[in-house]
Amino acid sequence: MGDAPQLHRGDAVSVVKGWCPGALQPMQSGDGWVVRIRPRGGRLDAAQAGAIADAAEAHGNGVIELTGRANLQLRGVAPAAHAPLVAALSAHALIDADIAAETRRNILVTPFADAEADALAEALAGALAASDLPLPAKFGFAVDPGRVPVLARDPADIRIERGREALLLRADGVNLAAPLRSVDDALALARWFLDMGGAAGGRGRMAALIARGIRPDAALPAPAPMPPPGPGAVPQGMLAAMEFGQVPPDTLRRLARLGPLRMTPWRMLLVRGARHLPAMPGLILDPIDPRLRLRACPGAPACPQALAETRNLARSLAELVPPGAVLHVSGCAKGCGWPHAADRTLTATTEGFDLICHGRAADPAALRGLHPDQLPKVL
């Protein structure tokens, strides 16, 4: 992977690791190992959800997080607990054969997938497992072939969407697409990315390659995307949001007993077929709940790179965030809790918090070194 890039803000230095944790390749954090689980096709049945909840309590610190890549991750796993945790999850088909297969199976599937989309995602996963493509660890695919795309703002380098008459293949960063004949076309586009030098040093993303003026052959207009819905009822069931994307283990068990679960990259779970959800710890069903306007990483002390506590601070500021706006509180300049620009971003530094307007955690600040007590007035 080469030397890890660094982000600087004031005297603080944040190391960008360039890869995401997996179940077989956990990542060290301030509260222990982070173990990320990638449910196949973004689906969980009741037995699988129960196994994950049990594993979080037995082998971690009980924290289950929904990620922006539509995965689940367990926190606070001790090294000695890793092997029994993997064994417990393997019994429920939640573990890949090896680290290479786990890394390549980086597929984001629309939670509103029908049988055709599920089959497409399964075929793509099989093709990736059989390939030897040396793709960067964060390089991913989106299977989003609904009537309109809903994953356009979510992380993926190669996107499968639906045109007026057929499926389309689109490189992230381009508004033109090519016809998709089979999943082999998606792998061919990934090879093109590598051949064009998109992964120099083992790192790289499709949009960055496109920004250099290098573009694949594509002539068909891409479909217009739709923003993801908020929590509540949708035709396929009920979308359940979680505060900061954290799911209490028993809430995960109870939701899965109400219907099969679909993962989303929006810190929500879709309970398929459900028409009502009872109150549960951590559950947010009101689309105007102020907590939905907040984004925050785990912060200190859970993350060793974080320079301040984040989530309690974000909660205290929620009522000051106007409807439709986003407040991002980041423990460092990496901005892991929200990779997009936010209306207001507060980035922790060694001198306090920097305020960024309409930007990301590492962007230039409008105000620097703010004390937490100053933030309500500033916002």
**Does residue 87 lie in a domain region?**
no
Query: Which of the listed residues 195, 221, 247 is the one where a domain comes to its end?
Result: 221
pLDDT higher than 60, residue 254: yes
pLDDT digits (tens, 9 = 90+) for 164-209: 889 999 999 999 999 999 999 999 999 999 999 999 888 999 999 9
**Does residue 104 lie in a domain region?**
yes
Among all chains, which residue has been given the structure tokens 């879709």? 270
Residue 6 banded pLDDT, cuts 50, 70, 90: low
In this prediction, residues 115-131 reach a mean pLDDT of: 96
- Same domain for 210 and 303, yes or no, is no
Beta bridge partners of 262: 43, 270
- Same domain for 213 and 295, yes or no, is no
- What pLDDT is attached to residue 2? 46
pLDDT digits (tens, 9 = 90+) for 26-40: 999 989 999 999 999
**Does residue 178 lie in a domain region?**
yes
**Does residue 230 lie in a domain region?**
no
Query: Which of the listed residues 203, 221, 239 is the one where a domain comes to its end?
Result: 221
**Does residue 141 lie in a domain region?**
yes
Beta bridge partners of 35: 74
The mean predicted confidence, pLDDT, of the chain is: 93
Nearest to 170 by CA among 274, 161, 275, 113: 161
- Same domain for 200 and 117, yes or no, is yes
- Same domain for 106 and 217, yes or no, is yes
SS (H, E, C) 148-186: CCCCCCCCCCEEEEECCCCEEEEECCCCEEEECCCHHHH
Number of domains in the chain: 2
- Same domain for 117 and 215, yes or no, is yes
Which residue range(s) make up the domain with 200?
100-221
**Does residue 19 lie in a domain region?**
no
Enter the DSSP assignment of 37: E
Can you give the CATH number for the domain in which 324 is found?
A: 3.30.413.10
222: which residues sit within 8 A by CB, 6+ positions away?
Answer: 161, 163, 168, 170, 174, 175, 176, 177
**Does residue 372 lie in a domain region?**
yes
Reduced to 3 states (helix: H, G, I; strand: E, B; else coil), residue 255 is: helix
**Does residue 26 lie in a domain region?**
no
Q: State percent of the chain over pLDDT 70.
A: 95
Burial (CB count within 10 angstroms: exposed 0-12, middle 13-18, buried 19+), residue 200: exposed
Nearest to 108 by CA among 39, 163, 170, 25: 39
In this prediction, residues 246-264 reach a mean pLDDT of: 98
In this prediction, residues 244-273 reach a mean pLDDT of: 97
Q: How far apart are CA 273 and CA 45, in angstroms?
A: 13
Task: Supply 162's token pair.
Answer: 């639906």
Task: Supply 25's token pair.
Answer: 């390749």
Sign of CA pseudo-dihedral 330, 334, 338, 340: positive
- What pLDDT is attached to residue 292? 95
Residues comprising the chain, all counted: 379
CA 342, distance to chain mean position in Å, is: 16
Enter the DSSP assignment of 138: T
Query: Which of the listed residues 168, 196, 221 is the one where a domain comes to its end?
Result: 221
- Same domain for 113 and 216, yes or no, is yes
Q: How far apart are CA 79 and CA 149, in angstroms?
A: 40
Burial (CB count within 10 angstroms: exposed 0-12, middle 13-18, buried 19+), residue 343: middle
- Same domain for 215 and 120, yes or no, is yes
Among all chains, which residue has been given the structure tokens 């009101």? 286
